[in-house]
Structure formats: structure tokens, C-alpha cells
Amino acid sequence: MTMQHSKGVSLDAKDFLTLKTLTPEQLQQLIDLGIHLKQLVQTNQPHPYLTGKTLAMIFEKSSTRTRVSFEVGMAQLGGHALNLSSDNLQMGRGETVQDTAKVFSEYVDAIMIRTYSHAMVEELAANATVPVINGLTDDYHPCQVLADLMTLVELKGSLIGKKLAYVGDGNNMAHSLMIGCAKMGMTCAIASPEGYMPKEEIVQTAKGIAGETGGSIIITNEPREAVEAADAVYTDVWASMGWESEQAEREIAFKDFQVNDELVKYAASDYTFLHCLPAHRGEEVTASVLDGSHSYVFQEAGNRLHAQKALLLSLLQSS
């Protein structure tokens, strides 16, 4: 079958560390490109637009969806991905981030890193001459939210004026969802218990973006307030990677923040349930919601592949 020509989205930044560097128009264009690339896969149309390109994938945090989606994505685009654990790199034995960035820039066309410190990813990007993609840090998870928003566009159409409720830990997911929803002109309501609220500086950033797009940000300690009339309900595990030692105390703090059949009664009748996965059935969400007719978590997970291909194509088309 003849390959169709496809161009990536013209981005303002070399790197993709958060959603903040995207304009609303660029974000919408990335989503649209992801949907187009998904259609090429569904119709068995080859699209090796990145032939000869190599992506280095550095993992300090374990991964299922991030590793597989980026590796398969590069393969479908005609390129190659290297799966690298920090334990097997000199970076894990004392080589500086600055030196690692410069060495990798001699070998590969882009770097994706999944790690703890966002400041370290910023340092990597500052010293690399190739694009750096944030596959997850403790502060942000922008690739996941690209897929989340793509899923909602597929299901809801235009997202302007729609409401997403996030119930749970004010973590990297809450941070990126606030920014992504604000860019799309949505209302993003975050319900977290005291002591686990999203970072105030990121809340203020998201509110500033929302003020320009007609969206809004709501921060509350009441799950029902957040979920009221929500078009989408979202949650995440109560103890993310790096916080497992707090599991017992978090179960107490979050006991009233479970997404269950009673809570989702307050959402819109056609609400969509989303979760970044992996999910702990019976903790942050009941099996009846996760496996119910409103849940699109596996379509959402699948869209990591297509949204990230759109991102890769956009970052690497001119590199």
C-alpha cells in the first residue's frame, strides 16, 4: 500500500518536558496527528516516517506502558529504540547528567527518560543537543496526558467547556492533567486529602493558562464536589512509585477518595472513566467502575502509542 506523506506538528521547543511549552493549537494538532496515525495502523498502512532515527530510552523507574509504547512506536515509524536501565549505564555509577547528555547526543536522535527528579530531566535537556522527552518524573507525566486528551477527543469531540474530575493524590498526574485540561479550555477539578494536595506553584500556573483559554481549575478536599457533573472521572494509585513505604498511612488518608459506584452517580450520565494504570482494584477504584461500561482505560492505554508517535514525529521530523 502506498505510504501517505505525513508531517509532524511544528513545535516551539526542542524538548518535551511538560505540556506548558505547547500552545493550545499545538496540543490540538498533536492530538489530531495521533488520531491520524492511529487510523494508519488500523488500516494497515505503513508509515516509516522516521527511518534511520534512534530513540534512547532511559529508565530509572520501571515501566510497562511507557517502554512498550515508545519502542513499538519507533518501530512502526521505521526507527529504532534502545531500552536502557540506569543500573546498566555509567550515569548510575557517577557519570554526570551533563556528560551523559553530551555523549548520548553523539549517538542517538532523541532521548526519552523516565525517572524521579524533574530537575535532573531539565539538566539532561539543557545539555543535550537532541530532543529530550519526559517519560515521567515525580512532578509531571505529560505523555500520559497527551493520550488522555486524545481519548477524550475521540469520545467527546471538542473538549472546550468539558469537565474532568481527578480524585486522589495530587501527584504528577494531577499536575499534568491540570495543565493539559487548561490548555484545552476545560474545567479540571482536583480532589485530594489534606497533606496530599497538588503543588501550589503548579496550580497557579494551570490557573493562569485557564484564564487565557476560558477553562478553570478547582481544588477541593471533597470528591463529590469535584465529580459533580463531570464529563470524565480520573484516578491514580494512592502510592505511586517511590512512595510505596507510605502505603499503609495513605490507605487511611485516602479512604474517602475511592472512585466507586456511589461517587460516580454525581458525574454526568455519560461520564468517561480514565486511569493511567496500573490500577489497584478495590483501593483507588472499585472493579465495578474500572471494568464497567463507562471505562475506557484500555483505549486510553492504547493511545499512548499513537499520541507519542505524533510527538516523536513532530520532534524528529527536522532533526
141 belongs to an annotated ligand binding site: yes
Which residue out of 175, 231, 236, 250 is catalytically annotated? 236
149 belongs to an annotated ligand binding site: no
Residue partners of 191: CB distance under 8 A and separation at least 6: 165, 166, 167, 168, 220, 221, 222, 223, 225, 226, 227, 257
Question: What is the phi/psi pair of residue 280, to 5°?
Answer: -110, 95
Which residue out of 15, 28, 109, 276 is catalytically annotated? 276
| Helix, coil or strand: residue 164 | strand
Which residue out of 28, 76, 144, 258 is catalytically annotated? 144
Helix/strand/coil percent split, the chain, to 5: 45, 15, 40
Which residue out of 15, 304, 306, 308 is catalytically annotated? 304
- What is the 8-class DSSP label of residue 15? -
Nearest to 66 by CA among 237, 74, 127, 267: 74
Query: Is residue 46 reached through a cis peptide bond, with omega within 30 degrees of 0 on the bond before it?
Result: no
235 belongs to an annotated ligand binding site: no
Is 141 a known active-site residue?
A: yes
281 belongs to an annotated ligand binding site: no
Cell output for 118: 524533574
23 belongs to an annotated ligand binding site: no
Is 148 a known active-site residue?
A: no
114 belongs to an annotated ligand binding site: yes
Strands 163-167 and 110-114 come out as: unpaired
Is 114 a known active-site residue?
A: yes
Cell output for 275: 486511569
User: Rounded CA gap, 95 and 113, in Å?
Assistant: 16
Which residue out of 47, 114, 175, 250 is catalytically annotated? 114
Which residue out of 47, 118, 141, 250 is catalytically annotated? 141
29 belongs to an annotated ligand binding site: no
CB distance 132 to 125 below 8 Å:
yes
105 belongs to an annotated ligand binding site: no
Cell output for 111: 532521548
181 belongs to an annotated ligand binding site: no
Is 247 a known active-site residue?
A: no
User: Rounded CA gap, 184 and 148, in Å?
Assistant: 12
172 belongs to an annotated ligand binding site: yes
143 belongs to an annotated ligand binding site: yes
Is 67 a known active-site residue?
A: no
304 belongs to an annotated ligand binding site: yes
- What is the 8-class DSSP label of residue 270? T
Q: How many residues does the chain have?
A: 319
Q: Among the residues of 167-296, which ranges form H helices?
A: 172-183, 200-213, 223-227, 247-253, 261-264, 287-290
Is 87 a known active-site residue?
A: no
Catalytic residue list: 114, 141, 144, 236, 276, 304
Binding residues for L-ornithine: 172, 236, 240-241
Residue ranges for the known binding site are 63-66, 90, 114, 141-144, 172, 236, 240-241, 276-277, 304
Annotated binding site for carbamoyl phosphate: 63-66, 90, 114, 141-144, 276-277, 304
